[in-house]
């Protein structure tokens, strides 16, 4: 059993390396087999096809992603707002240090959107729907989010986040902001951009805006009424 688990890990690790260097589309199961040093048939024994392997990789990505959330939640002496601020940095670093894992997570969210809509479910590759790892993902993909919601709840409890917020709505909003931040890092960082802002300044501004939103310090201001006289 230990030997089988080791081979599964070797195949998965090789897939991560090849997907990183060559990309998912350009990588064949044969390439992965050669890198591991096993037969192509044995690779198919552990993973039915490349889609099944990618779903296994995605599950590993979610497991590792969840650990990032847990590490923040376990931090001592920090309030909910500080935890969420730390989490933003961790997610951004995760996207840079583990791009294949991060993109696998985003890809699954897109697949899940179709899966939840009966009219769109038929657009999902049948080999994905047939993967046991896909069905495991359906069960565990929400676990990082639940930890993030705990951080918001903690912030409301300790007073660092305004009390009228609903934790679920607040964290899903933050989560969508973080995804948007990562996706926009390309346009912001493009050398020929028209926007006059550095990536570093944008990240600091992003965090401050999130904090202001959670604290309730963003307030609309009305134009001052100026008293004038016609005479």
| Model pLDDT for residues 178-203, shown as the tens digit of each residue | 999 888 877 777 765 566 777 788 88
Q: Give pTM, 2 decimals.
A: 0.86
Beta-carbon contacts of 195 under 8 Å, excluding residues fewer than 6 positions away, are 187, 188
Q: Phi and psi of 219, rounded to 5°? A: -130, 140
Look at residue 194 in the predicted model and tell me its pLDDT: 63
Domain parsing of the chain, residue ranges? 1-47, 49-189+197-215
Could you read off the pLDDT of 70-124 as tens digits, one per residue? 999 999 899 999 999 999 999 999 999 999 999 999 999 999 999 999 999 999 9
Class of the CATH-defined domain 49-189+197-215: mainly alpha
Q: Superfamily for 1-47?
A: Homeodomain-like (1.10.10.60)
Cβ atoms of 128 and 134 within 8 Å: the answer is yes
Look at residue 1 in the predicted model and tell me its pLDDT: 46
> 140 is written with which tokens?
């565990």
The dihedral over CA atoms of 213, 219, 220, 223, expressed in degrees to the nearest 10, equals -150
Enclosing H/E stretch for 57: helix 50-73
Average pLDDT taken over every residue of the chain: 89
């Amino acid at each position: 059993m230990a030997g089988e688990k080791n081979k599964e890990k070797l195949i998965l690790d090789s897939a991560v390396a090849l997907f990183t260097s060559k990309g998912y589309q350009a990588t064949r199961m044969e390439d992965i087999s050669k890198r591991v040093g096993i037969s192509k048939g044995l690779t198919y024994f552990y993973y039915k096809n490349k889609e099944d392997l990618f779903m296994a990789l995605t599950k590993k990505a979610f497991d590792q992603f969840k650990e990032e959330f847990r590490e923040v939640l376990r931090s001592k002496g920090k309030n909910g707002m500080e935890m969420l601020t730390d989490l933003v940095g961790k997610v951004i670093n995760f996207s840079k240090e583990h791009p294949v894992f991060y993109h696998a997570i985003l890809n699954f969210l897109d697949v899940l959107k179709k899966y939840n809509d009966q009219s769109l479910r038929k657009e999902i590759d049948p080999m994905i729907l047939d993967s046991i790892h896909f069905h495991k993902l359906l069960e565990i993909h929400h676990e990082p989010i639940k930890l993030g919601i705990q951080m918001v709840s903690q912030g409301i409890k300790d007073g660092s986040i305004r009390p009228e917020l609903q934790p679920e709505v607040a964290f899903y909003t933050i989560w969508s902001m973080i995804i948007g931040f990562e996706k926009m890092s390309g346009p912001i960082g493009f050398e020929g951009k028209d926007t006059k802002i550095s990536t570093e300044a944008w990240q600091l501004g992003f965090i401050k805006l999130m904090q202001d939103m959670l604290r309730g310090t963003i307030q609309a201001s009305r134009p001052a009424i100026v008293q004038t006289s016609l005479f």
